[in-house]
Every structure is written in structure tokens, then in C-alpha cells.
Structure 1
Amino acid sequence: MTKVLVLYYSSYGHVRALALAEAEGARSIPGTQVDVRRVPETVPEEIRQNAGFLADDTPVASPADMESYDAIIFGTPTLFGMMAGQMKSFLDQAGGLWARNALVGKVAAVFASTGSQHGGHEATLLSTQIPLQHFGMLIAGMPYTFSGQTTADGIVGGAPYGAGTIAGADGSRLPSETDLAGARFQGAHVARIAARLAGASLAEEAA
């Protein structure tokens, strides 16, 4: 079995919705085991409630969990043009994995939710990939074989760098079917790549 982890942080549910779509796409590839986990919250509960953050009962991951997966798909909201602090804090705690090269050669991908089309959507997708490359992970984006990203019929999230959605300034816009289809596409894309790499590794071991 190829093991894929969909790991995300979500405040208002947009990224969580994309995460579930990513997982659905990954599970569509035969022989793939998919787990969905969230990173720990760092915002005090009082502030969460005052800000209207949604409750989330998805199990929480620890940085050490990442070592046991063939691929990890990271989801984050955009905050001031970059990944959320919760995701950055989680990655900052993975220094032990980096020191042991424990993530080298694993597949990684990123998806994001942003308030506006020009509020750092692509910047978040790209900059979140930077620490993943320091870990030695192989980055999979969302290639143009997903034609939904080229439509001009309305607001569409995502880019060749990863799936995504545009939530609107007040967060009222939910992921569209095109956004969710992009996430499912990316999840399947990552699972296929991971399966091929795992198969090649097994073939080398057998030889």
C-alpha cells in the first residue's frame, strides 16, 4: 500500500473542505491508504471563539508522523501572503526529521485558501514549498492536465503550483465544484506519483 497523508490547518473550514477532496482523489488510486490529519492549533480558545473559528474533530498530527508516509499533501490558509503560523510552527518542529534525511524522496504537494485572487494565493503555494524542498521532498503541483484552472467563467482557485480556493474577504465564498475537482485531481496525481516511486524502490530492492 502507498501511504498518503493529507495534513492541513483550517480556521473557517475552507481548507478542510479541500483536504477532504484531496483525500478523495488520493483514495481513487488503487492500493492507496490515505489519512487526514490537522496540525495543532496555537490560537487560544477564547480568541478562536471570538473570531468564529469552526470546531474541527479531525485527529491532530505530530511532526514525527510524517516519516511513515510516502507522500504528504499540505493545506494552509493564506495569512498576509504566506502560510498560516500554525503550519509554519509544525514544520519548524521537524528539524529532527531533516537532520536524519527522513523525508528525502517523499512526494509533497500544497493547496491553499486565500481571501482574494490577488491576496497572495500563488505566493502561499510557492513559499510553502520552500521548507519542503529543504526536507528533500519532491514537489508535485497541479498540472494543466486539470483544465479547470484555465477557465475564465468565474473565480477559480489554484494554480500550476497547487489546488486552492478563493474564500472572499469575509470568508463567505465556499470552494466551488471546480476548486474541489482540482483538489481531487491533485490528490490522485500525488498518489499516482508516490505509487510509481514506491514500485521503483521495491524493484531496486528485489534486484
Structure 2
Amino acid sequence: MAKVLVLYYSSYGHIELMAEAIAEGVRNSGAEADIKRVPETVPVDVARDGGFKLDQQAPIATVGDLENYDGIVLGTGTRFGRVSSQMAAFLDQAGGLWARGALNGKVGGAFTASASQHGGQETTLFSLITNLLHFGMTIVGLPYSFQGQLGVDEVKGGSPYGATTIADGDGSRLPSKVELDGARHQGELIGMTAQKLFG
């Protein structure tokens, strides 16, 4: 049975919810899924004062964990159209895995969130996907087999490059049913691909 790691960073809980939906989709495919998060780099008092969600249940990952999985799905909120510094700092430590080719041929995917509809979701997804491609991984996005990302009847995330959600400027909007369904769909496709390659 293929094993997939859903690895995320979430300041306020939006990406945490999306990670749970991705993992649910992976499990629906018959593959195993673990959810882990990257270490917080912001001092605890600053995070507390900033309203960060500090009670997340997912264990902290180590870089060495990555090679133990057949698939890795990265998720982080958008920071000015790019990857959060916490996720970037974690991935920057994976040079040894890259040098050994330890992740070559594994399955990868990405998901994100932003405050606004045009807040840099796709550039963040591409930044995550670029890391995965440098690691030699095969990318699975969120194709239009997920029809929920089409239409303008409501505000919704979603991109062929990966599942997304829109949090609003004050973080008050949680992922919608459509956005969580998109994350599940992407997770299921990633799990199915990992199963075909490694199951």
C-alpha cells in the first residue's frame, strides 16, 4: 500500500483544514496518509499575540521523514504571492535528499490559501511545485475532473495546479464545502497515482 505525507504550514487553521481534506481523499483511494506540519519559526509570544492557531494536532515533521513516503503533498498559505518562510526554511534543509535523489519518482502535489481571490495562489502553487520538480517528483494537480472549481456562482478557490481556499483579509472565511471537496479530489488523485506506482 502506498504511503502519502500531507505536509503543511498553517498560521490560522485554514491550511490545517485543507490538509485534513487532502488526507481524507488520499485514504479514499486506498493509500495511507499521514499529516505532519513544518516547525513554527515565529517566537511563541509573537505567534500568540498575532492570533496564530497554536493547538494544531499534527506532529512536527523532520526533513528525514520525506524519503519514507511514496507521495508528498505540500500546503502553505500565500505570503505576498509566495511560499511562507516556515515552509521555505523546511524545504531549504532538504539538499541532502536532493543530492542523493531520494525523492526521485515519487508523487507530489500542492495546495494553498490566500486572503483574496487574486492574492497569489497560483504563484504560491508554482513555487511549491518547483521544489517538487527539483526533487524529481511527478506532479498531480486538481484537473477539471473536479467541476466544482468552475463557475462564478460563489467565491471559491481551486486551480488546475492545486486545491486552494480564500480566507478573507481578516481570516474569517473558512474553507467552503466546494474547496474542501476539491482538496479531497486532489488527494484521491494523488493517492491513486501513488498506488499505481508503488501500491
Structure 2 partner of 1:16: 16
Structure 2 partner of 1:45: 44
The structural deviation recorded for 1:57 is 2.6
Q: Which runs of 5+ in 1 are unaligned?
A: 200-207
Structure 2 partner of 1:156: 156
For residues 24 and 132 of structure 2, the distance between their equivalents in structure 1, rounded to whole angstroms, comes to 23
Matched, 1:182 2:191: no
Give the structure-2-normalised TM-score.
0.98
- Segments of 4+ moved more than 2 angstroms: none
For residues 186 and 63 of structure 1, the distance between their equivalents in structure 2, rounded to whole angstroms, comes to 24
Structure 1 partner of 2:64: 64
The structural deviation recorded for 1:128 is 1.4
Matched, 1:103 2:138: no
Query: What SS does the aligned partner of 1:60 have?
Result: coil
Q: How many residues align?
A: 198
Structure 2 partner of 1:145: 145
Alpha-carbon displacement from aligned partner over 1:159-182 (angstroms, at most 9, x marks no partner):
000001000011100100000000
Q: Is the 8 A contact 1:15 1:76 kept in 2?
A: yes
Query: What SS does the aligned partner of 1:108 have?
Result: strand
Q: Which runs of 5+ in 2 are unaligned?
A: none
The structural deviation recorded for 1:58 is 1.3
User: Quick one: which amino acid aligns to residue 68 of structure 1?
Assistant: N
Give the structure-1-normalised TM-score.
0.94
Query: What SS does the aligned partner of 1:187 have?
Result: helix
Q: Is the 8 A contact 1:112 1:158 kept in 2?
A: no
CA root-mean-square deviation: 0.8
Alpha-carbon displacement from aligned partner over 1:75-110 (angstroms, at most 9, x marks no partner):
100001011100000100000000000000000000
For residues 194 and 57 of structure 1, the distance between their equivalents in structure 2, rounded to whole angstroms, comes to 25
> If you compute each CA radius of gyration, which structure gives the higher value, 1 or 2?
1
The structural deviation recorded for 1:20 is 0.2
For residues 179 and 186 of structure 1, the distance between their equivalents in structure 2, rounded to whole angstroms, comes to 11
The structural deviation recorded for 1:151 is 2.1
Matched, 1:166 2:166: yes
For residues 123 and 52 of structure 1, the distance between their equivalents in structure 2, rounded to whole angstroms, comes to 26
Query: What SS does the aligned partner of 2:132 have?
Result: helix
